[in-house]
Chains A and B, each alone.
Chain A
């Protein structure tokens, strides 16, 4: 019925190895892209951009970044918030120091700076694994937040230690600052996410990604068959931090517009993104999207439902919301320990046989 493979013949390796080998899947993907690029920008308003889409897109970038490190390379990291902060402060310093350069370039450079910092904090991973590495990256989280709080140069000596995104344009359209239209914010983040997702997908199914997965599955065996653990782990840290840095830069410049490091990039951010990756599915690009959607959109949806529609008191709604999200996380992980991506895979398998399961 759906997902039919009958008659869908491949005549080249290239076709056989594409991301969506089944025609229906591929068309659906193009449809999603068409809606995302063609329909939503025309309909979007400030609320939808700032409360729903922009945070979702940015968190999806961060989740893809962390998924490369944790899901593909098996290096557990709790430093995501700190690395996002590096991206945010890097882009802030760049925007204020070189106002004439396009902010698009700045975001990429901020990603590059974060990649360098990530490599630096990834070095211990050559000696330690698992929980011990998690503790080392936790140190990165706390050190980076402390650094940005402590050294006034990072926040241009402002009285309060807050950083504020100045107004910047791409092709003459404001993408940061208060004058930014909902559409511009959304499009900027969407373009970034598309680039990140395509790059991540192609890295993970190429040589680099296979090395990461070999290290993840059994590092000793991987070393014996010729995978260099140094380069594999360091590239995983670099690529992952690059994406997380981009997410941090967008988070500050496009989404919040002002940030305070302890509040916006604290340890809870690290956990939130780790949960996205775990709920979405480790080692899956789609899982990063699904996890981000789950943890960003669900609270907003519940709030609108409980307060807006049912008219509950706000405090009760906030508490119930925590319980519901928590319970759903538990239920999902019991039902499918490999996350939403695996649920999706199983559903697809079932659909391929439907209506004649055997």
Chain B
């Protein structure tokens, strides 16, 4: 606590640039460095580019420009806290940190500070219960939905019977990877398959022993909850042990081009789950090209267009912008506050007609949120990788999660959280 510290502390008063308060501020807690950068970059680019498109084409939302200050977390919880604290004073409307670890830290903080936390397809699953988690939204689908969708798909493949089948779960040994275990255990009781869980420690460069175990146990199906470099390594190892790729299903975070690319032709037939469409065929991409890419205002490279994670970043930005639009309509003015934006999220009614208007026909499932329902429809489709054409193609229709299994688990987990935090249920 001496002079060095005092000097450093004094110098740290380099204030972050604050945007004018009339703007709509949506911080982008991204990661373009560290072990997860390969996945973080296209997502962050899609997120930024969609807001840039709204600014360039429509002059923002309801006439208000959107400002997207970016902050680098490197998927690290301490940096995530720093990013949250440094952006929250700017009137941030919604946070989307793309990290389950950071989400767990921010849930109590956003609840106290009154900011929306939007975690599409990740984060704390039980936040789907709006009665307990007032400020957190995770529609359209969550980890447990994903696990249930995968099993439902396998049931379809096996004529509705998984008795005696062996399913292995290869998971990122962190909060994120552990999330689906309980759901899969319940499902294995219900459908009679045996479940084995195989953890992979972060970042997941080394998986020889895990795949040796899979080779020995010979599971019929492998489900993967991976992220970052872990996905590529797992797919390569699966190719090495000649595991049939069509029996290998990744959650939506294990299904991007970066994950299957390195394994080349060997990855052909690998499947992943997705809660939105992929590819650059949607009309919105013509606008993106015209207003953002050709104008030189994009943060991403042109080859990311239509890729899985770029689409997903765009999806998150689209939902946030629609929620803001809803908030403006309800509040009757354009410069909405975080509280009004929360109302917008809670009353979001995203229809297929609206998606078509946005240039995203059949891109995602319609969402009708409510006070109690922050989790959305919980449906997803199965994509399959074609290594020759280097594209993902849908091999199933929308599959909706088994609510009989997922809902009680959500109720149980959120009740535990409510008890722990002394929260009384809303919406009654």
Contact = CB atoms under 8 A, between A and B. Distances in A.
A304 B12 contact: yes
Nearest to A25: B2
B173 A50 contact: no
A208 interface: no
Contact of B16 (A52, A301, A307): A307
A69 B422 CA distance: 41
20 contacts: A33-B1, A36-B1, A47-B86, A51-B81, A51-B85, A52-B12, A159-B413, A160-B104, A160-B175, A161-B174, A164-B104, A178-B112, A178-B113, A256-B78, A257-B109, A258-B105, A304-B14, A304-B16, A307-B72, A313-B32
A161 B81 contact: no
A50 B173 CA distance: 27
A158 B178 CA distance: 10
A258 B11 CA distance: 30
Contacts of A308: 14-17, 86
B70 interface: yes
Interface stretch (A9-17, A73-81, A209-217, A315-323): A315-323
Contacts of B8: 293-294, 297-298, 301
A126 B202 CA distance: 34
A111 interface: no
Given A36-B1, A51-B85, A166-B421, A263 B109 contact: no
A167 B112 CA distance: 12
B174 A315 contact: no
Top-9 shortest CB links A-B = A315-B32, A178-B108, A308-B16, A178-B112, A160-B175, A314-B72, A304-B14, A51-B82, A258-B104
B413 to A, nearest CB: 6
Interface in B48-88: 70-72, 74, 76-78, 81-82, 85-86, 88
Contacts of B85: 46-47, 50-51
What does DSSP make chain A's interface, helix, strand, loop or mixed? helix
A205 B238 CA distance: 59
A341 B65 CA distance: 50
Given A256-B78, A257-B108, A166 B32 contact: no
Interface residues of B, number: 61
B404 interface: no
Contacts of B173: 149, 262
Interface string A248-264: 00000001111110111
Interface residues of A, number: 57
B373 to A, nearest CB: 20
B302 interface: no
A265 to B, nearest CB: 11
Given A159-B125, A167-B421, A309-B14, A294 B4 contact: yes
A162 interface: yes
A87 interface: no
Given A164-B108, A314-B70, A263 B101 contact: yes
B124 interface: yes
A52 B9 CA distance: 8
A263 B16 contact: no
A314 B105 contact: no
Interface string A204-242: 000000000000000000000000000000000000000
A301 B12 contact: yes
A162 B175 contact: yes
A178 B111 contact: yes
B175 A289 contact: no
A331 B37 CA distance: 29
Contacts of A158: 413, 416
Interface string A132-172: 00000000000000000100000000111110101100000
B14 A167 contact: no
Given A256-B81, A304-B14, A319-B33, A262 B174 contact: yes
B30 interface: yes
B303 interface: no
Contacts of A52: 9, 12
A301 B86 contact: no
Nearest to B410: A159
A180 to B, nearest CB: 9
B2 A286 contact: yes
A162 B104 contact: yes
Given A46-B85, A178-B109, A318-B33, A164 B420 contact: yes
A300 B12 contact: yes
Contacts of B421: 166-167, 177
B5 interface: yes
A330 interface: no
B204 to A, nearest CB: 11
A325 B12 CA distance: 15
Contacts of B17: 308-309, 311
Contacts of A304: 12, 14-16, 86
Nearest to B178: A161
Nearest to A190: B1
B294 interface: no
Given A161-B174, A178-B108, A257-B108, 9 more contacts: A162-B101, A262-B173, A266-B202, A293-B4, A301-B11, A307-B72, A308-B16, A313-B70, A318-B74
B156 interface: no
A263 B14 contact: no
A201 B293 CA distance: 61
Contacts of B178: 159-161
